[in-house]
Amino acid sequence: MAKPKIAVIGTGGTIASQGRDPLDVADYASSGLPILDAEGLVAGVPALALAVQAVPVRFAAIPSTAIGWPEWRGLLAKIAEVKAAHPDLDGIVITHGTATIEETAYLLSLTLPDDGMPVVVTGAQRPFTGLSTDAHMNLVAACRAAGDPASRGRGVLVVLNDEIHAAREVTKTSTGRLQTFRSPDLGVLGHVDADRVTYWRKPERHPPGRRFDISGIETPPRVDVAYSVAGGDAVAINAFRAAGAAGIVAAGFAPGFTTPAERAALAEAAAAGMIVVLSSRAGSGRTFPTRRYGAQGILNADNLNPQKARILLMLALTATRDLAEIAAIFGTC
């Protein structure tokens, strides 16, 4: 039986990083050694050939802290190029640093065509050369998930630590633990076990209400995140307005509040035409709509964390500035 054909697009990150020695699992960025490209990554995991036919695709070899709008647009173009060059592909795996993996995965889920082909994003908590690294097994597990027919039509997936997560739901919860990625509200979609890939559910928010086309947008609408703290004032919010932000995501207190000074500044920003979305710094759960905030034109992020609410608001603002339309987008995506 033919093995699934999987394109492995390398972007860099810890999964492709090299430390000074096997015990260098924290300061490997200072090792002076290059980040592996896709060819080096695939060649360094010979066991991958036991599971899939991997096609390495070079894209970037950078830490995920350096990934943003230009890289996202380039990655979308690369995925389209790979699909065209390999019409017999069964799936695509993107290797990525874990710092921003959830943001990249969510943006891809909102911008890639919904053609059913599995796209799986994976990374690692320990570098490629580290003792007991998770890089090798995460790459194998991601490729196995991408090549499994049951993965089709589930949207962009994130696979680490043998767990399969929905791009919209997953978040990084620990700086160093291998089990860092969690979907706090709803849990995993499935598992990559030794004998098979198993799914337990489908994400309800896939497919989203719309796909966003950013291919022709070189500079995204500026959206900033204002983090609520006890005694917080309007300084950051006013600075974001002065910098020309088109939108602000408020990372408020649970279940959806800010300090009085912050609320006044957000209301003023909304009255001036800025789109303001209220999320929560709590880490899980919805921000609940209230008459007070709603009357001031402040929208709710549903259960999106602040960094993902920022992604969605950026994309929404490429299509519309209508408050009702943006509210509907947050209710469906």
Model confidence pLDDT, tens digit, residues 47-99: 999 999 999 999 999 999 999 999 999 999 999 999 999 999 999 999 999 99
**93/153 same-domain check:** yes
What average pLDDT does the chain have? 95
Burial 253-288 (b: 16+ CB within 10 A, else e): beebbbbeebbebbbbbbeeebbbbbbbeeebebbe
State pTM to two decimals: 0.96
Active-site choice (11, 14, 122, 287): 14
Residue 212 falls within a domain, yes or no?
Answer: no
- End-to-end CA, the chain: 38
What is the percent of the chain where pLDDT is above 90?
A: 92
Is residue 14 among the annotated active site residues? yes
User: At residue 92, what are phi and psi to the nearest 5 degrees?
Assistant: -130, 135
Look at residues 287, 141, 152 and name the one whose alpha carbon lies nearest to residue 207: 152
Q: What whole-number distance in Å separates Cα of residue 310 and Cα of residue 307?
A: 5
Are residues 78 and 12 located together in one domain of the fold?
yes
pLDDT, residue 281, reads: 95
Please report whether residue 111 resides in a domain.
Answer: yes
Cα radius of gyration (the chain): 20
The helix-helix angle for 306-317 and 323-332 (nearest 10°) equals 130
Task: Determine the 3-state secondary structure of 272 from DSSP.
Answer: coil
Q: Does one domain contain both 24 and 147?
A: yes
Residue 1's pLDDT band, with cuts at 50, 70 and 90, is: confident
CA atoms within 13 A on the CB side of 321: 9
* 56 falls within a domain: yes
Range of the domain at 315: 223-332
Q: Are residues 177 and 232 in the same domain?
A: no
Is residue 295 a part of any domain in this protein? Answer: yes
Calculate mean pLDDT across residues 118-141: 97
pLDDT (tens digit, 9 = 90+) per residue, 22-33? 999 999 999 999
> What is the three-class DSSP state of 278?
strand
Backbone φ, ψ for residue 48 (5° rounding): -60, -35
CATH number of the domain where residue 288 is located: 3.40.50.40
Residue 137 sits in a domain whose CATH number is 3.40.50.1170
How sure is the predictor about 208, in pLDDT bands with cuts at 50, 70 and 90?
low
Q: Is residue 312 part of a domain?
A: yes
- From 184, 199, 214, give the residue that closes a domain: 199
Whether the CB-CB separation of 205 and 234 falls below 8 Å is answered with no
Number of structural domains the chain divides into = 2
Q: In 3-state terms, what secondary structure has residue 293?
A: helix
Q: Are residues 21 and 111 in the same domain?
A: yes
Q: Same structural domain for residues 235 and 312? A: yes
